[in-house]
Amino acid sequence: DTLTGVTGRDVFAIGNGTGGMTLEMADVITDFVSGEDVIDLMPPLGYDGLVISAGTEAYLGDTLIQNRVTGEFLAVLKGVDALSVSGTDFI
């Protein structure tokens, strides 16, 4: 799925089963702004259950969000530096 917010604070929801085992199956969030927008993690998924990493190759300059246990790719934050994403960006 491709997710795009509107002006102001947006809430994007992700959780187990919303992505897939390849990056192509992950939700793509096109306009995430760290510190303004938030990602709602559907239970039982929590921030400590995520791997947040910088993309490479076709995903260079993007942030990848992956389930730490299952390896499921949950989301790609387009144009977002992975170092700018923290626990405060998740609810």
Return the pLDDT at 77.
Answer: 99
The domain spans of the chain are 2-89
pTM of the model: 0.95
Return the pLDDT at 43.
Answer: 94
How far apart are alpha carbons 91 and 84 in whole angstroms? 16
Confidence of residue 6 (pLDDT cuts 50, 70, 90): very high
Is residue 66 within 8 A of residue 73, CB to CB? The reply is yes
Return the pLDDT at 86.
Answer: 97
Return the pLDDT at 31.
Answer: 97
pLDDT digits (tens, 9 = 90+) for 23-56: 999 999 999 999 999 999 999 999 999 999 999 9
How far apart are alpha carbons 80 and 83 in whole angstroms? 9
What is the DSSP track for 39-54?
EEEPTT--GGGEEEEE
